[in-house]
Amino acid sequence: MRTQVGIVGAGPAGLMLSHLLHLAGISSIIVENKSRAYCEARVRAGLMEHWVAHMLIETGVGERLQREAMVHDGIYIAFNGEARHIDFHKLIGKQVYIYDQKEVVTDLIARRLADGGQILFEVEDTSLIYDFIGGDPKIRFRHEGREQLIECDFIGGCDGFHGICRPSFPDRALRGYDRVYPFGWLGILSESPPPENELIYCFHERGFALFSMRGPDLSRLYLQCAPDEDIDRWSDQRIWDELEARLGGVRPLVRGSILQKGITPMRSYVTEPMQAGRVFLAGDAAHIVPPTGAKGMNLAMADVRVLARAFEAHYRSGRDDLLANYSATCLSRVWKGQRFSWWMTQMLHRHSDEIDFDTKRQIAEIDYVTSSPAAMTSLAENYAGLPME
């Protein structure tokens, strides 16, 4: 097989890259080790920055999003038994969209296939054949029992944090920067209305909690827990009691049947640079954020938009400056996303069992951030999405 851009991974980054390249007349093939059903069912991040929603709409994959996404003007931050609203729309004229990553994936797969795109699911033993100095890279894998090879001009490594692309880079080509947090999130999906029609981030003595949603009768709720928490120790009753305690009486909480539960680890990671030779990393393959700032899918979408434009300049006009600057362009946004995610995380989580200096400082910070128009504007700009141009 031969294509212009070989893409590893059919998550939001790989699929959107393939879609944008198609619109620019550039061919690509995606290989993915999971099944199509698995990719379309995995409940992941749910919050989309305004420009990402607009990009999906403008590039013709936003039809269902426009019908089904919930559009929010802002968020609530609750502490000391009070929920304070930060109204992004009033402060900076932007809104955010609740639309699960799995819906984005479902829409993009349908669109790529309708446009004649090639996505090979359930491939095995994928590896890159490339010396990182010269020549054209290749992707080798097994599909339907046969050894296969894709020859391409470039590779898009969109295969997530545990993918094969980043470890294929030569030793010392990359440097990783990370921060591991001493807690995780226990997340549930529940058949019940959320306590508010926008998200509530709760700072509470018992630990952080987040009240999000996937629909008017479908809640997505999270509790700060130990990083190695044993989910079997959490009965439905215990989860609901803890959520109610941490909501602190700011809204009534309706309980429902729990459809899914799991533990999310909390980590920040960035690799620099995001490219070597003709292999370009995008999304979680290059960086991950703790979910508190809701930046994961948004940073992935920003990477592939930069990358698609760089490939377009290469093929249309033989200009390679955008490709050469890919890493630097992305990293300046990535580090701002890292800073914001780290800041939200440290501000809203409990770091010790006692009420200590940091607890008092955090309460002062939350009080300030939810009352000063300057501070609220700064939060709004980062949360709703920094400018993309």
Which residues participate in catalysis according to the annotation? Answer: 72, 201, 291, 295, 383
**Toward ligand PHB, which CB reaches closer, 212 or 271?**
212
CB of 76 to ligand PHB, least distance (A): 12
**Toward ligand PHB, which CB reaches closer, 160 or 291?**
291
**Toward ligand PHB, which CB reaches closer, 291 or 385?**
291
Dihedrals phi, psi of 82, to nearest 5 degrees: -140, 140
CB of 319 to ligand PHB, least distance (A): 38
**Toward ligand PHB, which CB reaches closer, 53 or 199?**
199
Cα 283 to Cα 303: distance, rounded to the nearest angstrom: 7
**Toward ligand PHB, which CB reaches closer, 14 or 46?**
46
* Inter-axis angle of helices 357-369 and 373-384, nearest 10: 90
**Toward ligand PHB, which CB reaches closer, 212 or 329?**
212
CB of 44 to ligand PHB, least distance (A): 7
Map the chain to HEC letters: CEEEEEEECCCHHHHHHHHHHHHCCCCEEEECCCCHHHHHHCCCCCEECHHHHHHHHHCCCCHHHHHHCEEECEEEEEECCEEEEEEHHHHHCCCEEECCHHHHHHHHHHHHHHCCCEEECCCEEEEEECCCCCCCCEEEEEECCEEEEEEEEEEEECCCCCCCHHHHCCCCCCEEEEEEEEEEEEEEEEECCCCCCCCEEECCCCCCEEEEEEECCEEEEEEEECCCCCHHHCCHHHHHHHHHHHHCCCCCCCCCEEEEEEEEEEEEEEEECCEECCEEECHHHCEECCHHHCCHHHHHHHHHHHHHHHHHHHHHHCCCHHHHCHHHHHHHHHHHHHHHHHHHHHHHCCCCCCCCHHHHHHHHHHHHHCCCHHHHHHHHHHHHCCCCC
CB of 290 to ligand PHB, least distance (A): 9
- Contact residues toward ligand PHB (CB under 6 A) are 45-47, 199, 210, 212, 220, 291-292, 294
CB of 199 to ligand PHB, least distance (A): 6
CB of 261 to ligand PHB, least distance (A): 13
CB of 283 to ligand PHB, least distance (A): 16
Cα distance from N-terminal residue to C-terminal residue, the chain: 35
**Toward ligand PHB, which CB reaches closer, 120 or 188?**
188
Report the candidate in 349, 304, 326, 93 with the shortest Cα–Cα distance to residue 210: 349
